[in-house]
Amino acid sequence: MRVVLAEDSVLFREGLARLLQGAGFDVVGQVGDAERLLALVRTSRPDVAVVDIRMPPAHTNEGLVAARTIRQEAPGVGVLILSQYVEAEHAMRLIADGADGLGYVLKDRVSNLAQFAEFVRQVGEGGSVIDPAVVSLMLSRSRTRGPLDDLTAREHDVLALMAEGRSNQAIGERLFLSPKTVETHVGSIFSKLGLLPAPDDHRRVLAVLTYIRS
């Protein structure tokens, strides 16, 4: 899987490159700003672009803007956004354009090397990964009754792990549930959220989007 990196901190960027190379990825380019990132994606056509949300010159949302451009110009390229802080609004802007091949995680997740490599792999394969800290922030805000209010506590747990991109088997292992029990919870979540029968991955993305938006 071919990966490009966009991060203005050379030390952090080099660390990411070594981490990903050690996990079997082909790091085909590294840049420190959004303008060069777009040029690199256009010429190298990677599978995944790992992008810091704040880069030169203003260190505000340059990575976010570049990510949206990549998704418009090269929809086959997965984009994994890295953020130092929980910025739910930025995540929502990206998700509004579609969640396939999209990831948004905190830089703290990089400390778990195996997990981070799996995030990159999932995004490169067209999956989606949303940091649970972003989900928690959205849920902590006061709100009126919404579509998630009918979910049980266990269904909330299952949906939170779905938002991390975990499979049913991984959810069962995390919550000490049998595969059949997890399938029952997932089916109940789909039903309560009004998601009609469709390919599982598609409904999983829609469920996570409903979770965050609510």
Q: What is the CATH number of the domain that holds 146?
A: 1.10.10.10
- Output 197 or 179, whichever has higher pLDDT: 179
Residue 154 lies in a domain: yes
Domain extent for 170 = 142-213
Q: What is the count of structural domains for the chain?
A: 2
Residue 181 lies in a domain: yes
Q: Does residue 200 sit in the same domain as residue 100?
A: no
pLDDT at 39: 96
Give which of 100, 42, 86, 96 is closest to 66, Cα–Cα: 42
Amino acid code (one letter) for 24: G
Confidence class of residue 117 from pLDDT cuts 50, 70 and 90? very high
In this structure, the strands spanning 48-52 and 78-83 are parallel
Q: Does residue 121 sit in the same domain as residue 148?
A: no
Above pLDDT 90, what percent of the chain?
Answer: 52
pLDDT at 205: 85
Compute CA distances 133 → 137, 146, 188, whole Å: 6, 20, 24
pLDDT at 142: 43
Q: pTM of the entire structure? A: 0.66
Q: Does residue 22 sit in the same domain as residue 123?
A: yes
Q: Which two tokens stand for residue 107?
A: 């830089």
The secondary structure of residue 75, as a DSSP letter, is T
**Of 63, 96, 129, which residue is a domain's last?**
129
Q: Does residue 24 sit in the same domain as residue 91?
A: yes
Q: Does residue 49 sit in the same domain as residue 115?
A: yes
Q: Does residue 104 sit in the same domain as residue 34?
A: yes
